[in-house]
A and B are shown apart, each in its own frame.
Chain A
Amino acid sequence: MSDMSVAIPRDGLVAVVKRDCPTCVLAAPVLAELAAQGGIVVYTQDDPAFPEDIADRIDDTGLDVSHRLGIEIVPTLIRFQDGQDIGRTYGWDRAEWERISGFQGIGAGLPAFRPGCGAKNVEPGVIERLKVRFGETGLESRRVEIGDGEDEFEAMFERGWSDGLPIVPPTEERVLRMLAGTSRDPQEVLGLCPPNLVPATVEKIAINAVMAGCKPEYLPVVLAAVECVLDPAFAMHGVLATTMFVGPVVIVNGPIRRQIGMNAKGNALGQGNRANATIGRALQLVIRNIGGGKPREVDRATLGNPGKYTYCFAEDEEGSCWEPLSTDFGIARGVSAVTVFAGFGLQGVVDQKSRTPESLTRSMAGSLRAIHNPKLAPACDAILVVCPEHERTFRNAGWSKRRVYEELFHLCEMPADPLIAGADGIAEGVKPALAGGTVNKFRSDGLMIVRAGGGAGMFSGIIAGWSTPGPTGSLPVCREVKS
């Protein structure tokens, strides 16, 4: 429907009201006065029988006229002259109504002023529908029509849009609501999305966020996560195309975590929290749909891992004695940020007996040295997710995160001889040229430490990475969340 189909008087007074608004009810007798004196066209947004004293009131329950007039508050009184809006006022304000109507002394028994109410045409859910109907969405993506006889969920599966689980149909209205979650221009290009190097616009990312099940307020986090993987340092093409298990692991810091209700506590890496689940899923859908990266095509993973559906959690900054992960990347504490790491799975660190930091770091280092294969070093970058009851041991001993890192790094420096290829009857291993020396399981700063998890249980976790870490492969990338 175009604007042309909405007929609006070219001259005279126009009012827009709704019965649900007490100020409209209060001002209804004034509208009757104006109708009697010189005529007025009254549009009603909710009840076609309101106002009762206006005989030729016009039903605008479809809200087309209200939308065309840009009504935000009811009652609104407008004067038109030669098709031009030459004055309007909102709510009941006798002086303003007198000025615009040209009649003095109207509404004599009423108070001088009463604020109006929100108009129906700008209510959430309604404004998007009207924009779609009037062709004002500004959305540029191709429209895909699903026939009446077609199940839209099945149709989306058949088009290959899904990761294997049902997705939310990305209607124009839903995508408009999603885009309300950011102030960024829908056509802003965040970068070229691997593997096909397609420009990833805010609009395309919003469509995939809708499908993943995100709320609009999650969108800034999704956008930051996409910015991270599009940074060449992350090497998303390689992370996708590798035969190894890895996919993007998303860790969120700062106030946005609590604003959108993310889980950093019990079962933080598990199921059940909408923000955790859908933000990670949206990132995967972006790679799949915008970038064209699909399993058994460019994604050559031998086994993959369940985290390739979604892998996203928040750090428990409030429960931690350490600085948040994002500060390791130079972002100030208190600033919302997303870190993305090419990782997979979770290897448990079970230690229920250590009560000193020395014992606990030895225990953790033993698990860390087993990543990928105990005989491989350096193996990969990794994230150690420290649970509250393990962190308590470090907190009570006054160990900073840096000290924990340095101790673990030191404990992961190993004599090379037992690791050499062929040693211990195992063909896998490090180069013979390293014999007599030492090797470290990690590159410098290749081990990150994050605090998450529920109160009970001495169970930390290791998220291992890709076997091509660092500048020649994938580096973890952190980005500030922009509103």
Chain B
Amino acid sequence: MTVLLDPTSERSPAARERLARPDRLEGLTVGLLDISKPRGDVFLNRIDELLTERGITVKRYMKPTVAKPAPLPLAQQIGTEVNLMIEGLAD
């Protein structure tokens, strides 16, 4: 383990901070990522319906395989097209 000295004013936590959650979804684009787990689409389809009913823009994505991280082009595409992401993580 490497120990470094904090070069900052120490006004924020030493651990990396998560991105702030949006306080509402209106006007945002939500990505739904199917990681290719069985029945992930059932969950995501329902989320899609619920969001769409509320007038929120939804974009759908799918990883080619559950066994590996998303290919870089897919990650970059998602990063430029959506404001937040929901993944279907389990069977």
Task: Write out the residue numbers on chain B whose beta carbons fall within 8 Å of the beta carbon of A290.
Answer: 7-9
Closest residue of chain B to A292 (Cβ to Cβ) is B9
B8 touches A170 (CB 8 A): no
Instruction: Give the contact-size bracket for chain B.
Output: 10 to 19
Closest residue of chain B to A196 (Cβ to Cβ) is B9
B7 touches A289 (CB 8 A): yes
* Residue in A156, A204, A208, A292 whose beta carbon sits within 8 Å of that of B4 in the complex: A156
A207 touches B5 (CB 8 A): yes
In chain B, positions 1-57 with a C-beta closer than 8 Å to chain A are: 1-11, 14, 16
In chain B, positions 56-81 with a C-beta closer than 8 Å to chain A are: none
Q: Chain A's nearest CB lies how many Å from the CB of B5?
A: 4
Closest residue of chain B to A140 (Cβ to Cβ) is B5
Task: Write out the residue numbers on chain B whose beta carbons fall within 8 Å of the beta carbon of A291.
Answer: 9
Closest residue of chain A to B16 (Cβ to Cβ) is A158
Task: Write out the residue numbers on chain B whose beta carbons fall within 8 Å of the beta carbon of A483.
Answer: none
**A144: interface (CB < 8 Å):** yes
Closest residue of chain A to B4 (Cβ to Cβ) is A144
Cα–Cα, bound, A176→B13 (Å): 24
B7 touches A204 (CB 8 A): yes
**A161: interface (CB < 8 Å):** yes
* Residue in B9, B11, B14 whose beta carbon sits within 8 Å of that of A144 in the complex: B14
**A171: interface (CB < 8 Å):** yes
Report A128-147 CB contacts with B as 1/0, cut-off 8 Å.
00000000000101111111
Q: Chain A's nearest CB lies how many Å from the CB of B74?
A: 21
For chain A, what secondary structure do more than half of its interface residues adopt (helix, strand, loop), or is it mixed?
mixed
B4 touches A146 (CB 8 A): yes
Cα–Cα, bound, A145→B8 (Å): 15
* Residue in A146, A198, A292 whose beta carbon sits within 8 Å of that of B2 in the complex: A146
Q: A148-B1, A169-B2 are in contact. Are A161 and B16 (CB under 8 A)?
A: no
**A285: interface (CB < 8 Å):** yes
Q: Chain B's nearest CB lies how many Å from the CB of A271?
A: 24
B4 touches A169 (CB 8 A): yes
A289 touches B8 (CB 8 A): yes
* Residue in B1, B5, B9 whose beta carbon sits within 8 Å of that of A175 in the complex: B5
Task: Write out the residue numbers on chain A whose beta carbons fall within 8 Å of the beta carbon of B6.
Answer: 141-144, 207
Q: Chain B's nearest CB lies how many Å from the CB of A161?
A: 6
Task: Write out the residue numbers on chain B whose beta carbons fall within 8 Å of the beta carbon of A169.
Answer: 2, 4
A208 touches B3 (CB 8 A): no
Cα–Cα, bound, A225→B1 (Å): 34
B11 touches A211 (CB 8 A): no
Cα–Cα, bound, A476→B1 (Å): 44
Task: Write out the residue numbers on chain B whose beta carbons fall within 8 Å of the beta carbon of A148.
Answer: 1
Closest residue of chain A to B8 (Cβ to Cβ) is A289
Task: Write out the residue numbers on chain B whose beta carbons fall within 8 Å of the beta carbon of A145.
Answer: 1-4
Residue in B2, B4, B8, B14 with the greatest tally of chain A CB atoms within 10 Å: B4
Cα–Cα, bound, A207→B5 (Å): 7
**A413: interface (CB < 8 Å):** no
A171 touches B16 (CB 8 A): no
Cα–Cα, bound, A175→B6 (Å): 11
Cα–Cα, bound, A148→B3 (Å): 10
Closest residue of chain A to B6 (Cβ to Cβ) is A142
Report A64-86 CB contacts with B as 1/0, cut-off 8 Å.
00000000000000000000000
Closest residue of chain B to A171 (Cβ to Cβ) is B4
Q: Chain A's nearest CB lies how many Å from the CB of B10?
A: 5
Task: Write out the residue numbers on chain B whose beta carbons fall within 8 Å of the beta carbon of A353.
Answer: none
Task: Write out the residue numbers on chain A whose beta carbons fall within 8 Å of the beta carbon of B16.
Answer: 158-159
Q: A158-B16, A159-B16 are in contact. Are A146 and B1 (CB under 8 A)?
A: yes
B10 touches A171 (CB 8 A): no
Residue in B7, B10, B16 with the greatest tally of chain A CB atoms within 10 Å: B7
Cα–Cα, bound, A169→B1 (Å): 13
Closest residue of chain B to A207 (Cβ to Cβ) is B7
Q: Chain A's nearest CB lies how many Å from the CB of B79?
A: 15
Task: Write out the residue numbers on chain A whose beta carbons fall within 8 Å of the beta carbon of B9.
Answer: 196, 198, 289-292
In chain A, positions 280-296 with a C-beta closer than 8 Å to chain B are: 285, 289-292
Q: Chain A's nearest CB lies how many Å from the CB of B46?
A: 34
Sample of 13 further A-B pairs with CB below 8 A, known A144-B6, A171-B2: A144-B4, A145-B1, A145-B3, A146-B1, A146-B2, A159-B16, A171-B3, A172-B3, A198-B9, A198-B11, A207-B6, A208-B7, A292-B11
Q: Top 3 A-B pairs ranked by shortest CB distance? A: A198-B9, A142-B6, A289-B7
A-B contact list, 10 entries, CB within 8 Å: A139-B5, A146-B4, A156-B4, A161-B7, A171-B4, A198-B11, A207-B7, A289-B7, A290-B7, A291-B9
| Residues of B bordering A, CB below 8 Å | 1-11, 14, 16
| Residues of A bordering B, CB below 8 Å | 139, 141-148, 152, 156, 158-159, 161, 169-172, 175, 196, 198, 204, 207-208, 211, 285, 289-292
